[in-house]
Amino acid sequence: MKKKVERFEDLIAWQKARTLTADIYRASAAGAFSRDFALRDQIRRSAVSVPSNIAEGFERWSLGEFHRFLTYAKGSCGELKTQLYIAGDIGYLDEAALAPLLKQAQSVSEIVGKLRRSVERTQDAGHSTQDL
């Protein structure tokens, strides 16, 4: 039996995005990365945007709104991945630090995408967020 999602905290997408955000903060807190305020702050904003958009969309209690905010969250995953590549390109993150973060960001992006498609199917069937 499928467990009913009653809070955004129950969503695996939100949980994994939250973990990714904490990992991004840790990775950007050391060395030259920590002193590049523009990239450091931008990558952190991108990371924070993912779980924030998931939560905000869920709390609006409208499948259409939730779908829209999941689209924003997925877009923020792409932005985050791009900034990770740049951090690697300029030497702020070595391959050992970069590869797992990129893998994690890709995983979150895929989970958010699947949730978005599920919400779309639920919406197309005429249901509400209470049916998630």
Give CATH superfamily name and number for 11-126.
Answer: 23S rRNA-intervening sequence (1.20.1440.60)
Task: Read off the pLDDT band of 61 (50, 70, 90).
Answer: confident
CB-based contact 59:9 (threshold 8 Å): no
What is the domain partition of the chain in residue ranges?
11-126
**DSSP alpha helices (H): ranges in 1-132?**
12-27, 31-35, 37-59, 63-89, 95-124
Q: What is the pTM of this model?
A: 0.91
What pLDDT is recorded for position 129? Answer: 54
- 4: DSSP letter: P
